[in-house]
Structure 1
Amino acid sequence: MTAYSGIKVLIVEDEGLVALMIEDMLQDLGCEVIASVARVSEASGIAATAEINLAVLDINLAGQPSFPVAEILRDRGVPFIFSTGYGREGLPHQFTGSPVLGKPFSASDLQRTMAKALDCPAID
């Protein structure tokens, strides 16, 4: 059992191998992956209705930004992490304070960023 056991996570990532890698990392931390989706429309529906504790959002989903999903999560009070190769420069003003996980990343990078998003101590 880890500090992250039972945390329900939504993964929004359009690259299949990256999504699987994130899913494996989260499961190794004890998280429960609620869904892994690749499109904004599907992610928006899940973000609006599912019981989740955290989301990992790729910023660019097949040319569409995931910011509408982030807005839904923010309005529901659900923490989220942006996963991107673009860095903070790709974030609009309203999300500049959001946790960002730069691609490529390791399991320890993910864990540290999760701790920041969930406002809990990082556990190495």
Structure 2
Amino acid sequence: MSFLDSVIGRRIFSMAPVWRLAGTNGGEGQGEDAQGAPRGELPLSGRKVIVVEDEFFVGIELAQILETAGAKILGPASSLADARELAADEEVDMAVIDVNLNGEYSIDFAVELQQRGVRVVFATAYADDARLFTGAAASIPRLGKPTSKRALFRALLPDA
């Protein structure tokens, strides 16, 4: 079941995800490109990504982008308590986290995830405020909002 199916029980939009339109075997990352040659896996296939974002539509957009790339989405969590609960119940590979969640700062949570071996990226309006990102948080990639798909994937998959 996809992220949106689990959130509301049906697709919000009438469009099929991109990988289904491309004929890639139900989103499993197999299929053919325009010339009929086999394609590799989707960039985030098999990865669990937690999305922590307090703005509903931004969280949904991030989740859809990541799901279309093959990720299994946890969240979006709109509060630090929800994010901690999700991360405690599941093994997480990657995280996309907003810094300010209705006045709660998620920096310590992001560092905790990073110390567990999770690839963490901040997607935040505070990306340029170096005063917030000290110590271990200074090494976490920061993307300003709004961000592009390309920048998001580059931050999550720096070696790709």
Question: The TM-score by the shorter chain falls in which range?
Answer: 0.7 to 0.9
The answer for unaligned runs of 5 or more in structure 1 is none
Match of 1:56 in 2: 96
Query: What is the aligned counterpart of 2:150 among 91, 108, 111?
Result: 108
Match of 1:8 in 2: 48
Aligned-CA RMSD value? 1.4
Distance 1:59 1:22 in 2: 15
Q: Which AA in structure 1 matches 2:96?
A: V
> Equivalent residue of 1:77, what SS?
coil
Q: TM-score if structure 1 supplies the norm length?
A: 0.86
- Of structures 1 and 2, the one with the larger relative CO (CA 8 A, separation 6+) is 1
Matches within 5 A, 1:1-124: 1=29, 2-88=42-128, 89=130, 90-116=132-158, 120-121=159-160
Deviation string, structure 1 residues 27-66 (Cα, Å, up to 9, x no partner): 1111110221011112122223411110101000001100
> Equivalent residue of 1:96, what SS?
helix
Q: Which AA in structure 2 matches 1:11?
A: V
Deviation string, structure 1 residues 54-94 (Cα, Å, up to 9, x no partner): 01010000011001311321231111111111124232332
State whether residues 44 and 72 of structure 1, in contact with CA within 8 Å, keep that contact through their aligned partners in structure 2.
no
Which structure has the larger Rg?
A: 2
> Equivalent residue of 2:65, what SS?
helix
Q: TM-score if structure 2 supplies the norm length?
A: 0.68
> Equivalent residue of 1:83, what SS?
strand
Identical counterparts, % of pairs: 32
More strand by share: 1
Distance 1:108 1:74 in 2: 22
State whether residues 48 and 73 of structure 1, in contact with CA within 8 Å, keep that contact through their aligned partners in structure 2.
no
State whether residues 13 and 61 of structure 1, in contact with CA within 8 Å, keep that contact through their aligned partners in structure 2.
yes
Distance 2:114 2:87 in 1: 10
